[in-house]
Structures are given as structure tokens and as C-alpha cells.
Amino acid sequence: MASKLPTSLEEIQTVMVETDVLVIGGGNSGCFAAIEAKKQNAKLKVTIMEKAHIDRSGCLAAGMDAINTYIKKGRTIEEFVRWSRSQAGGLIREDLTKSLAEVLNEPTEEWERWGLPIKHDEETDEYVTRGKWDITIRGSEMKVILAEKVREFGVEVLNRVVATGYLMDGERVIGAMGFGVRDGRFYAIRAKATIVSTGGAAGIYKPYQADSVDSHHQLWYCPFNVGSGYAMGIRAGAEMTTFEMRWCATRTKDFNGPIDTISVGYNAPMINGKGERILQKHYAHLGGEAAPRYIRANVPMEEWREGRGPTFVDTREMTPEQVRDMKIDYLNERPSYVLHLAARNHDPSKEPLEVYGNDPYIVGGHTASGYWVDVSRETTLPNLFASGDVAGGCPNKFVGGAAAEGMLAARSAAKRASETASAGSLSDQQLAAEMVRIFAPAFRQAAEGDGVTPREMEERMQRLMDEYAGGVHQFFRMNREGLEYALKNVRILKDQTRYLIARDLHELMECHEVIDRLDVAEVLLHHLMYREETRWPGWQTRTDFPERNDEKFDCFVNSRRDPATGQVQVFTRPYEQLIPGDRMKP
């Protein structure tokens, strides 16, 4: 039962927590980070700050049917880096990817020891594989299993506490602040080392499924991952990278469900309305069925634009047993897709499954968007480490990689915490300012009773981004004039956040979700404007610069918002190739 929303500063109770390692966001990556910190040094106090409940928070809420990055016997780390590089159009941080690959298999094998069912080949006892880097799991309850281990390792878990900003001592991060969405209290958690693992950002763009009000969250990516970790870093002046490499993918139409389950798992090719095998017929020069992810992602949109839609994955060659296995895969990841099939009497062995693009997300586990980190996973803000979807430069991490990166960040953070005598000094002024910023929508509701609801503001932002910044309704296409219009209006919205009102603690959380999304959207627009070329059609399509421009843009586009002025500076960082070969080829 939620407490009452405070209506004045005097009513607010403060909870002060002292810890050694703070993990912000208890999803897959954060839970693995917390356990690893305890494994490194059991004497350290480790605290997870989680806005939901760690048993079901983040991307694994409904489960997962595959680990899409597992280095199987006979495959090498170099091969993995080359593959990931080619899938990302030649732009990754090879140092980060290589260090991730070195530990990539550890979490999956640990999960299995903890009880996660993974299929083994009866003859070789190796994992049963699906595609080049994928293994099939029965992951419906994998997050519950992981959360049990977090508790067993003695990690302190603060469920239902929303993080809103970092505690700073000069340039150094010394923890985080936030509020309890159940108890209505202000939280200040001081830590010797902090790991941010809050996930990526959904809900920046309008989804096409949003029929008036009834299906606003029919998203592929977890709709409760709103980019808060990015936003906290942006506000504190952290360097960010490659936001313009958006994650748009081919998804099951209307449901927005994963498609690799079918296309990789069961070799079902994409076909268009004319029955043509699209990749073979129109994209043979780019690799055909093995074309990079962004090419495959953009296929349905191009077919519709060319008048050859709708688009499907052709499941008609599947046997009834395969259809049944496919349904079990979905029950382990997005069970309601089986309900979606049932609600259309859809037999995939008789009719192909329709596919379409999704609303774009900013997700560093799939593309390279996020914090600019070093190999130890430390961000440009000292003592702040990043892992999982919030960490940039290292795409194609997926579930196994996000977990492995949590482990890497925790090894560095535990070492830092063990070597640090005192976290740093708290400033009362900083605490007071954040408290006012957090509860302002509640105070406005109490004082004025009129203003802007978080929902209204979210929908205005999502429509702007969709229509002027390359959303799904614009077939992912954009130009400078549209981006400038979106930026002008996002700035108006950011100014109008002072009119936000909240009637309860849930709405207060929604207010901060839209505030955070606006900070992400602003930086995203700067990145999209800066890259005056088209490097990844679909992920980033500039109609005014339709070609790739290697002379100017074969590099990382990074940004930093100056905390003093609010100005966003955009600049480039050179590409560093460690593993030789054509970067566009696996």
C-alpha cells in the first residue's frame, strides 16, 4: 500500500544509506554485478537500488528463450569481435568487445548451475545451438532464479526506490539520490563505487500499436526502461557515445515480438506481399539472408515503401512439431505472443507470420549507444561504472553479454571500493536541490492543482520524435529541418517540465520518467543531426545525406552536456582497429 504523496518539503522523510558498492538498476546486468562484487570481496556492503522488484524487473520480466551470444566450442574471441563488428556496420569499440568476449560464457554457465534449464546435445553434451552464436534456454523464470541468488549472496536490495540523480563530490560520483515509490521518502545512498545498469530507453518514440489509449505499451523493449541511467549521466556531464545508432528491428506485426526466434531458430526467410524472398532477391549484394542486422531491420519498411508490402516470415515450411517448439520458445520469452496467435486462430504452418519495424529504442546491448567507458567499464565520471544496455561502444551483448559486462564492471568497482577509505563528502545543498527537483510535481499539484500531466507530455514528445526524428510512421527517415523542429519543441517541453503535476507516487515516478526521456531525446537529436551521412539505413537514415561518408564519419560521434550551461557539445573520437580485416565482413 503506497504512502501519501508529500505536499511540502517539511513532510518529506529522508533515508540515508551508506554502502561500499551501489548498483543502480537490478535487472540482469545489475544483479550479476551485485553478486560479482560480493564474490570479489564478501566483506563489502553491496546495495541494489531498484525501481520495481528485482524478481521481475528489466528486460527479463517475462523470461528469455535464447542466449544469443555464446562462444561455442571451436569458435574464437577474434571471430566474435569480427562478427559483432560486421553486424554493427563496422563501428564498435574492439577493446570493449574483446574484453567482453573473454568472459562472455561465464554467466550462462553459472545460471545453469543455479537451475536454469539449457538443452544439451545427447551425443556431445554441448549446448544445443541455434544459428552461429545462439543457444536455446528455458528462461521463463530465469530472473526469479537470479534474484534468489542476489539475496543468498547477502546483497542489500532496495526495491521500489527510483534513482533520479548522482551524488557528486566535485567531479566524482559518490552514490545516488532518488525516492521511494511506495514510502514517498527521499533516499540518499553514499557509496565508494557506483555501477549504473538501468537499461536502455524505450518510449522516446511513439509505437504504431498505440490505438488511442489501449495498447500504449505493446513494445518489444521493456517499456519500464526509460533511459534514466543515460539521463542521470547526461545531467552530470558524462560523455556519451553513438546515440544516433538507434535500435530498430524487424518484429512481429502488431504484437512487436521478437523475430529471431523464428528466422534464426527455424530458418524462415522474409518474404514480401508478392511472395518474393526479399533478402535473396533484393539484397544479395549485401549478404542476402546473412545481411547485417540494420539491413534486415529496414527490409519491411522498404518493401512497404516500394509497394511490395505487407511483409512476412515464411513459416509455411515448418512442421507441426516445429510450430509447437516455436510456441514453447515464445512462452519462455514473450508468452502473450502465443495468446496473440490464439486470438487470430493463426496456424504458422499454414499462413506466414506478418512482420514490421518497431518504434526505435536507444539500447547499448544491441547497438553501441551509451556511456563512453574504458576497458574497466569506468565512465568519464570517476568512480561511476556502467554495464549492460546503458553502456556504449559494445553492441550485440544481449542477455549473456549484459550479464558478463555486469561482472566486469563489478570487478573494477569492488577493487575501487576496497581501495577507497572514504566515499566523499555530502553537500546539504545538493541534497536539498534534488529533493525539491524530485517532489516539485507533487508540490505544484498541492499548491495549484493545475498543470501538465506526465502522460500528456510523454505523448507530445513521442509524436515529435516519431514524425520529425525518423520514427516508425516515417519509415525511420529524417532530415535536418525535421530534426531542428523536433529539437526546438523538445527544448520547449524541457522548459515546461516545471508545470508537471503528480497526484500520487506512481504519477511522480511517471513525471521523472518523462523528464529523463526528454534529456535522452535532446542528446539523441544532437547526435542524429551531427552525423551528416547514412551509415546504417533504418537505424539512421538521413534523406538529405543518403550515402555513407567514410572520410568524415568513420569514427564515433560523442557528446557531453555541460552541467553548468546545459549546452550539448558534439565531437568525434577516432576508430581503433585491433583485429585486422575488412570491418564490414564477419
Partner 1 sequence: MLDACCLMPDNRFLEVTELPPRVIVDKCDGCKAEKEPLCEQICPGDLMTLSEKTGKAYCRYTRDCWDCMSCVKICPQGALETRLSYQLGYYPAKLIPMMGTNRITWTSIAMDGTVERFVVPTRNEE
Give the binding site for partner 1 (CB under 8 A): 1-2, 51-53, 55-58, 61-62, 112, 115-117, 138, 140-141, 145, 160, 181-182, 209, 211, 213-219, 222-224, 254-255, 324, 327-328, 331-332, 334-336, 338-345, 506, 509
**CA proximity to 190, closest of 386, 30, 417:** 417
Q: How far is the CB of 147 from partner 1 (least distance, A)?
A: 11
Helix (H) or strand (E) holding 325: helix 320-333
Judged by beta carbon, residue 334 or residue 397, the one nearer partner 1 is 334
Q: How far is the CB of 506 from partner 1 (least distance, A)?
A: 5
Q: How far is the CB of 220 from partner 1 (least distance, A)?
A: 10
Judged by beta carbon, residue 53 or residue 281, the one nearer partner 1 is 53
Judged by beta carbon, residue 162 or residue 478, the one nearer partner 1 is 162
Pairwise CA distance, residues 328 & 133, whole Å: 20
Specify whether the CB–CB gap between 418 and 41 falls below 8 A.
yes
Judged by beta carbon, residue 222 or residue 234, the one nearer partner 1 is 222
Give the contacts of 326 (CB within 8 A, at least 6 positions apart). 261, 262, 265, 266, 315, 318, 348
Judged by beta carbon, residue 167 or residue 472, the one nearer partner 1 is 472
Cβ neighbour number for residue 15 with a 10 Å cutoff: 15
**Assigned C-alpha cell, 41:** 570481496
Pairwise CA distance, residues 408 & 258, whole Å: 28
Q: How far is the CB of 307 from partner 1 (least distance, A)?
A: 25
Give the contacts of 452 (CB within 8 A, at least 6 positions apart). 496, 499, 500, 501
Q: How far is the CB of 293 from partner 1 (least distance, A)?
A: 23
**Assigned C-alpha cell, 206:** 511513439
Q: How far is the CB of 118 from partner 1 (least distance, A)?
A: 9
Q: Which residue has the cell 581501495?
A: 419
Pairwise CA distance, residues 125 & 147, whole Å: 28
Judged by beta carbon, residue 345 or residue 422, the one nearer partner 1 is 345
Q: How far is the CB of 112 from partner 1 (least distance, A)?
A: 8
Helix (H) or strand (E) holding 420: none
DSSP category for residue 199: -
Judged by beta carbon, residue 112 or residue 374, the one nearer partner 1 is 112
Specify whether the CB–CB gap between 56 and 560 falls below 8 A.
no
Pairwise CA distance, residues 354 & 313, whole Å: 6
Judged by beta carbon, residue 256 or residue 263, the one nearer partner 1 is 256
Q: Which residue has the cell 546539504?
A: 428
Q: How far is the CB of 524 from partner 1 (least distance, A)?
A: 23
Q: Output the CA–CA distances (angstroms, integers) from residue 144 to 203, 234, 490, in the order listed.
A: 26, 32, 38
Judged by beta carbon, residue 214 or residue 495, the one nearer partner 1 is 214
Name the 3-class secondary structure at 179.
strand
Q: How far is the CB of 483 from partner 1 (least distance, A)?
A: 29
